[in-house]
Amino acid sequence: MPLSGSIDKKNLKEVCLWLFLDVLGQSNYIQVSPEVNRGWEGAVFIDRDGTIAKDVPYCCRVEDFEILPTVPQGIRLLNEQGFKVVVITNQSGIARGYFTEETLSLIHQKMKDELDKYGAWVDAIYVCPHHPDEGCECRKPKPTLLLRAAKQMGIALELSYMVGDDARDVEAGRTAGCKTILVTTGPGQGNSRRQDKTPDYVADSLNEAAEWIIKDAKSRTAGAREGKQGVEPYDY
């Protein structure tokens, strides 16, 4: 992003994100589809375990990875509406020595293959491989992976959503500036809600979350169009 010229309030947040992420650098645990369009658009960030797939603690075998019912249909809905779909997942099993990067890659390939059977896909996968005690910057509930994806993929965070089954997902999404959806498909069945981390919506499945996201995005677009009618642009 060029920094020459004046910076108004609308662009200030994006400038700050770019500067912050240039300091952080890039992660080695990122898989981005080469077909990703780099226009500034909305995205749906999705947690993996308990949201896309059955929550198997430290899933370390490909055969144990199981996509939850109606997840492919929900992701396909988002694909069809033009959202970039980005998986954001903590995988401390790597740091704990329970599985390797190669195994994780094979698990994610299985996920992609299962989604492909339904005509669905994810545009990128961002992983935190660190142990919680390491105090890294990329582990949820910190928003770093969402911010990094926004920079690398041309994502407008204010037009985006975070979906997960845990309060950490809600906190990460909200801190990044996204709307948030808590699904009840994880082991806590939505009971991980905290009073200070209330999501924008609670859904019984990723498919239901996708339907709500599409409806909400359309209402936001309609509202923005109505707001522009007869209104002079304000010069900050």
| pLDDT per residue rounded down to tens, the chain (236 residues) | 434 344 454 444 444 444 444 444 444 455 655 454 445 799 999 999 999 999 999 999 999 999 999 999 999 999 999 999 999 999 999 999 999 999 999 999 999 999 999 999 999 999 999 999 999 999 999 999 999 999 999 999 999 999 999 999 999 999 999 999 999 999 876 555 555 679 999 999 999 999 999 999 999 877 666 655 544 432 32
Q: Tell me what pLDDT residue 45 has.
A: 98
Kindly state the DSSP code that residue 51 receives in the 8-state scheme.
T
Report the alpha-carbon distance of residue 115 to residue 77 in Å, rounded.
12
Please give the model's pTM, rounded to 2 decimal places: 0.80
Look up 64 and say whether it is catalytic. Answer: no
Q: Catalytic residue among 47, 55, 166, 169, which?
A: 47
Distance CA(176)–CA(171), nearest Å, equals 8
User: Which pLDDT score is estimated for 159?
Assistant: 96
- Determine the 3-state secondary structure of 155 from DSSP: strand
Return the CA Rg of the chain. 18
Exposure of 40 in the CB half-sphere (CA atoms within 13 A)? 8
- Considering 8, 49, 55, 169, which one is annotated as catalytic? 49
Q: What is the residue extent of each domain of the chain?
A: 11-223
CA pair distance 41, 85, nearest whole angstrom = 11
15-47 pLDDT per residue, tens: 444 444 444 444 445 565 545 444 579 999 999
How big is the CA angle at 147 (ends 144 and 151), to the nearest 5 degrees?
135
Q: What is the pLDDT of residue 224?
A: 63
Q: What is the pLDDT of residue 220?
A: 83
The amino acid at residue 229 is Q
* C-alpha–C-alpha distance, residues 73 and 160, integer Å: 19
CB 173 within 8 A of CB 43: no
Q: Which fold has domain 11-223?
A: Rossmann fold (3.40.50)
Count Cα atoms within 13 angstroms, Cβ side, for 107.
26
Q: How many CB atoms are located within 10 Å of the residue 199 CB?
A: 23
Q: Is 216 a catalytic residue?
A: no
